[in-house]
Amino acid sequence: MSCGISKAGFLEQEAPRLDNWLNKNQHGQMSYMENNFDKRLNPTLLVDDAKSVVSLLLNYYPSEIQNPESYKISKYAYGQDYHFVIKEKLKELLFSIQSNIGEVSGRAFVDSAPILDKAWAAKSGLGWIGKNSNLLTQQVGSFYFIAELIIDLELEYDYATTDHCGTCTACIDACPTEAIVAPYIVDGSKCISYFTIELKENISPEMKGKFDDWAFGCDICQDVCPWNKFSKPHKEPLFSPNPELLSMSKKDWEEITEETFKVVFKNSPLKRTKFNGLKRNIEFLK
């Protein structure tokens, strides 16, 4: 786990970018992105008397990957739902801070509130926002979750690092749906992850043949990123996949029953798309 600390306050540079992204409807049907615009840019509106944003990264890069001849799911979804795993760790961290320092108030966030996680992680020096809009690091690439503790304690603050994407366009060139519309700008409504997870209606026929067998999420722009050559397997048992997942063939996916889905993907991020959503995705890929 990596940690960086920023002074809580208004994200001045991100405000026009977020406004522009929303105005261009690049969030598609993710209407929740339109809510709490001010809170999204200012954590002092989320936590009373907030002084510091403690950003944390937790690696999820797996030691084993799925059967390459199978339908694919994003690596972050191999194990248990990260929301629950990380929330417990954050509670322990906050308790440890309170035990050592005294009365400190704050809240833990894991992709569960209107917070610009990547912006805060970059501001605190944990990496830079890459051309695929993911947070990249020179040490371990980009396969990790981002979480925050927002607390009412003044701390020593870290500094942002520099951008190391250079002239590389590997992620832009590799995206089969051309969702990376310009360097550092992703049209969420064109992303395979959006279609296979967020979209509740039928997938547009014009996308047929463009998903490269991704049934839940997509890792293409991370897999091709040169910085992910430095990814190392995680050491969190709860992120380890059910062995059945790794060996599943396309036929297994196509014939999966709701009962099997509940067993193999118990406490999994795949519950977000639900059994019917997964079946829709697989039917679309066939």
111 catalytically annotated: yes
Which residue pairs from 247-254 have beta carbons closer than 8 angstroms and sit at least 24 positions apart in sequence?
A: 247/67, 248/66, 248/67, 248/70, 248/71, 249/67, 249/69, 249/70, 250/69, 250/70, 250/71, 252/70, 253/70, 253/71, 253/215, 253/282, 254/282, 254/286
CA distance 36 to 43: 11
Give φ, ψ of 56 to 5 degrees.
-130, 145
Catalytic residue among 19, 38, 111, 212: 111
- Residues 49, 43 contacting (CB under 8 angstroms): no
Helix H or strand E encompassing 260: helix 258-264
- Residues 36, 124 contacting (CB under 8 angstroms): no
3-class secondary structure for 107-128? Answer: EEECCCCCCCHHHHHHHCCCCE
Q: Which of 215, 255, 249, 214 is nearest to 67 (CA)?
A: 249
- Per-residue b/e over 152-178, b at no fewer than 16 CB within 10 Å? bbeeebbeebeeebeebebbbebbebe
The residues annotated with a catalytic role in the active site are 111
